[in-house]
Amino acid sequence: MARDDDFSHLSEEQFRVTRRCGTEPAFSHPYYTLKDAGTYHCVACGAPLFSSAAKYDSGTGWPSFFQPVSDQALKAVRDTSHGMIRTEVRCAACDSHLGHVFPDGPPPTGSRYCINGLALDFRPQEEKS
């Protein structure tokens, strides 16, 4: 697991979410409504996590995706905090907390990756000439 002092480039809120398993308020991050083409990367280490092609509006208030960019991008961890049993998702490269995955998403996967916008860095798709 990466040490917390390896993430000095993060804002206080990004650090709280990614390194302390925090959650941003619903509907508070601009990525929730962003519809641009591109890739969402881990804000802590830059690893690619989700394609905009897998993003959809779940109505939950957080950016939601039905699949990661690859099977190796994320790791799942059992989360029993707050009196619930959930599946937390973390960046496989740096172990940053991203959010949770739920089994109520759209086809083709049926998964809803509910991700904190503060944990993401969106990089627009480069235009082809």
* Residue 89 in tokens: 């998702």
Q: Which of 42, 91, 94, 114 is catalytic?
A: 114
Interior angle at CA 9, CA 100 and CA 90, nearest 5: 20
The yes-or-no answer on residue 114 being catalytic is: yes
Question: Do 63 and 120 form a contact (C-beta atoms < 8 A)?
Answer: yes
Distance CA 7, CA 37 (A): 27
Q: Residue 22 burial by CB count (10 A; 0-12/13-18/19+): exposed, middle or buried? A: middle
Kindly list the catalytic residues: 114
